[in-house]
Homo-oligomer: A and B are copies of this chain.
Amino acid sequence: VTPSAATNEGARVGRPPKVTRDEIAGAALAVLDKEGLDALTMRRLADELGIGTMTLYGYVGSKDDLLDLAVDAAVIDSPSAELSGPWRRQMSALMHSSAERLARHPALVRIRVTRPVLRPEALRFGEAGVGILRAAGFPDDEAAKGFRLLFTFTVGFAALSPASSATAARRDAEQALARLPGDEYPNLTGARQEFAAAMAGQEAFDYGLERILDGLEARLKTTISP
């Protein structure tokens, strides 16, 4: 990967920059997607861009700063879900599109868990979610807490359902359950197949999302606007 020519043609003096912040962010995201969070080191990224390691520090303040840039890059180049129809359908589409993005960029989940992400690009998701719930009739505090619930489930599911394939995750779970003593774990050994199946995959996500939306809908109907 050779860096393209500098884009700030308006610069007046001195050498033109070898790379841009955007190129750095894109290359970082590519390493994260391909090989995971542990593979992204400053030396490795500099090699990838064909520049000296320390050159990176002319563009980013620190490695944490670099991770923030990569998060932004992932948010930006994902198409946002188109939102229409009743609030429940809109919310389902928003959460599914978010779940897909996180599945495409598993390393982002680990970054998000390390520290809160409050950058404007990342907050677009919250803006859309709170907007849907407000329009549905939830008062502001319940719209905020309701979105937090949906957000927590969606990101949590991506984080806890192992990054490896759902199939491998279920196989590992089943093997672990098979080794449990039946008298101490009657429910897990009794529902072994089902528990392993629920560890990952689309069906488990959909079931959880539907139950949450059921709960919010009940709240709306019985308490807020009966």
Chain A interface residues (CB < 8 Å from chain B): 109-110, 112-116, 118-120, 123-124, 126-127, 130-131, 134, 140-149, 151-153, 155-157, 159-160, 162, 169, 172-173, 176-177, 179-180, 184-188, 190-191, 193-195, 197-199, 203-204, 207-208, 210-216, 218-219
Contacts and interface: CB of A to CB of B under 8 A. Distances in A.
A213 B184 CA distance: 27
Contacts of A187: 127, 130-131, 134, 143
A216 B157 CA distance: 18
B131 A197 contact: no
Interface of A is mostly: helix
Contact of A208 (B130, B134, B141, B145): B145
B211 A123 contact: no
22 contacts: A116-B199, A118-B172, A118-B173, A123-B176, A123-B185, A127-B188, A141-B198, A143-B191, A143-B194, A144-B198, A148-B204, A149-B207, A149-B211, A151-B160, A152-B152, A152-B153, A153-B153, A156-B160, A159-B159, A214-B219, A215-B215, A215-B216
Contacts of A211: 146, 149, 212, 215-216, 219
Nearest to A109: B113
A112 B203 CA distance: 22
Q: For A119, A176, A216, which residue has the most chain B Cβ atoms within 10 angstroms?
A: A176
A130 B177 CA distance: 13
Contacts of A216: 211, 215
A191 B135 CA distance: 13
A187 B151 CA distance: 16
Nearest to A149: B208
Contacts of A152: 152-153, 156-157, 160, 208
Nearest to A151: B160
* Interface pairs A-B: 10 shortest CB-CB: A156-B156, A215-B215, A211-B215, A149-B208, A118-B176, A214-B215, A144-B198, A140-B191, A144-B194, A131-B187
